[in-house]
């Protein structure tokens, strides 16, 4: 069993690396799954045993991060303001699978490819669902009341700020760190004047 998952993880990472190289070289839409399968030396059918969709190759690690963010949020002290707790939880999770210039290229690709952008936002919706229960708890909200939107709104807004910051980060070619942009976005939203 341990050997299994190790082998599986190896293949998984190999496909990811191969596909990413192709994506960055000739673009996401211009790369077909047949291309990836051929380059990775597997069958088309096997690709779909590792990834549900082509988008998941790029965004797969992002999904897994969602649970890490949840854990980080739950680890924040109870007396911390919800907003700050969410911010710190997000910042504590860094994806270190690629170096920063590559990350910038990937981010840019995601933000410029509609299907990737959409999928990425869907992943963010999953994060929302993951983080909302803990925020409800911190707000003392009834966990089952569908009409108490406070937690949903807070989580969604924080993630939106992250998205806006990521967008600006790619537009500015990574000149300003993501954290700075995020804090600027958050400050704008919470400023009394608006």
Partner DNA sequence: GCCTGATTGACACTGAGTGCCAGACCGGCA
Partner DNA sequence: TGCCGGTCTGGCACTCAGTGTCAATCAGGC
Site for a copy of itself in 147-176 (CB under 8 A): 147, 149-154, 156-157, 160-161, 163-165, 167-168, 171-172, 175-176
Q: Does 55 bind DNA (CB under 7 A)?
A: yes
Distance CA 124, CA 26 (A): 27
Which of 24, 39, 42, 104 forms a contact with DNA (CB under 7 A)? 42
Which of 117, 130, 133, 174 forms a contact with a copy of itself (CB under 8 A)? 117
Q: How far is the CB of 151 from a copy of itself (least distance, A)?
A: 8
Give, to the nearest 10 degrees, the angle between helix 100-112 and helix 54-75: 110
How far is Cα of residue 80 from the mean position of the Cα atoms in its chain? Answer: 24
Q: Does 106 bind a copy of itself (CB under 8 A)?
A: no
Q: Which does 64 bind (CB under 5 to 8 A by kind): DNA, a copy of itself, none?
A: none
Stretch that binds a copy of itself, among 31-39, 42-50, 56-64, 120-128 (CB under 8 A): 120-128
Please check whether residue 35 is in contact with residue 23, taking contact to mean a CB–CB distance below 8 angstroms.
no
Distance CA 35, CA 39 (A): 6
Dihedral class, residue 174 (left if φ above 0, else alpha if ψ from -120 to 50, else beta): left
Distance CA 78, CA 5 (A): 37
Which of 32, 102, 112, 173 forms a contact with DNA (CB under 7 A)? 32
Long-range Cβ pairs for the range 11-19 (8 Å, 24+): 11/42, 11/50, 12/50, 14/40, 15/40, 15/42, 15/47, 15/50, 15/51, 15/57, 16/57, 16/60, 19/57
Q: Does 11 bind DNA (CB under 7 A)?
A: yes
What are the residues binding a copy of itself (CB under 8 A)? 81-84, 114, 117-119, 121-122, 125, 146-147, 149-154, 156-157, 160-161, 163-165, 167-168, 171-172, 175-176, 181, 184-186, 188-190, 193-194
What are the residues binding DNA (CB under 7 A)? 3-4, 8, 11, 31-34, 41-46, 48-49, 52-55
């Amino acid at each position: 069993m341990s050997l299994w998952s190790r082998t599986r993880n190896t293949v998984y990472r190999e496909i990811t690396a191969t596909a990413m190289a192709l994506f960055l070289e000739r673009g996401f839409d211009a790369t077909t799954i047949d291309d990836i399968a051929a380059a990775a030396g597997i069958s088309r059918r096997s690709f779909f045993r590792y990834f549900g969709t082509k988008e998941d190759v790029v965004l797969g690690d992002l999904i897994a991060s969602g649970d890490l963010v949840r854990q980080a949020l739950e680890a924040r002290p109870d007396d911390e303001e919800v907003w700050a707790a969410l911010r710190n939880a997000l910042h504590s999770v860094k994806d270190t699978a690629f170096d920063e210039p590559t990350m910038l290229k990937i981010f840019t690709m995601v933000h410029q490819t509609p299907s990737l952008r959409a999928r990425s936002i869907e992943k963010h919706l999953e994060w929302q669902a993951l983080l909302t229960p803990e925020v409800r708890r911190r707000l003392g909200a009834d966990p089952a009341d569908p009409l108490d939107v406070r937690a949903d709104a807070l989580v969604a807004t924080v993630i939106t700020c992250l998205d806006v910051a990521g967008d600006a980060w790619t537009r500015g070619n990574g000149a300003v760190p993501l954290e700075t942009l995020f804090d600027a976005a958050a400050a704008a939203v919470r400023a009394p004047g608006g």
